[in-house]
């Protein structure tokens, strides 16, 4: 079997709060440039706002992950234009939800008591050096099950902490 074979693939989930940040900051930069221009009457201030907004939008457009891929021997996070980051199963220490790693659930809660989206459906992958990779696939349960079954198939000593 080919090590590059994709076992399971899922797209990241971006909720309305995350999307509003991606759209809101460029709009804010443009509005700020227009407001400062109205006060100072300097054309370069509008250009700074527009260039900042375009730079920010491009930075996030290029930097947003496109796919999470479970492969035979690695976990891959794919970005645009063929760029990807691979994490070999043999370099992973543990996999689970954020609260399984001891992240404070009280800091992740809204006043209503529900856990905020960016943390509710996140799979944390801790490597052996202690750093984390946070994944938010659209179908968290299926992704976790596929990842844990692939870890078992590879007979790698990884702590599966659950969701």
Select the more confidently predicted residue: 103 or 41. 41
How many C-beta atoms lie closer than 10 Å to residue 131's C-beta? 9
**pLDDT bucket at 108, cuts 50 / 70 / 90:** very low
Residue with the two structure tokens 């459906």? 121
* pLDDT at res. 120: 61
Mean pLDDT (the chain) is: 77
**Whether residue 113 has pLDDT greater than 50:** no
**Whether residue 126 has pLDDT greater than 80:** yes
What is the mean predicted confidence (pLDDT) over 108-132?
Answer: 65
What is the mean predicted confidence (pLDDT) over 116-133?
Answer: 74
Contact 69, 8 (CB under 8 A): yes
**pLDDT bucket at 102, cuts 50 / 70 / 90:** low
Residue with the two structure tokens 């221009």? 37
* pLDDT at res. 117: 47
| pTM of the model as a whole | 0.68
CA distances from 63 to 23, 79, 122 (A): 15, 7, 18
At 17-42, the pLDDT tens digits run 667 777 888 888 888 878 887 887 77
Contact 70, 84 (CB under 8 A): no
């Amino acid at each position: 079997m080919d090590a590059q074979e994709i076992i399971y693939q899922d797209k990241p989930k971006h909720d309305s709060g995350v999307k509003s940040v991606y759209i809101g900051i460029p709009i804010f930069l443009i509005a700020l440039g227009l407001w400062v221009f109205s006060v100072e009457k300097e054309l370069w201030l509008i250009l700074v706002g527009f260039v900042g907004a375009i730079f920010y939008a491009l930075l996030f457009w290029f930097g947003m992950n496109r796919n999470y891929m479970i492969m035979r021997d690695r976990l891959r996070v794919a970005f645009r234009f063929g760029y990807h980051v691979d994490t070999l199963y043999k370099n992973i220490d543990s996999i689970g939800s954020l609260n399984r790693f001891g992240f404070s659930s009280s800091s992740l809660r809204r006043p209503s008591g529900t856990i905020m989206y960016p943390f509710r459906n996140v799979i944390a992958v801790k490597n052996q050096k202690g750093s984390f990779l946070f994944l938010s696939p659209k179908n968290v349960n299926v992704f976790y099950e596929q990842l844990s079954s692939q870890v078992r198939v590879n007979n790698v000593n990884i702590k599966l902490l659950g969701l």
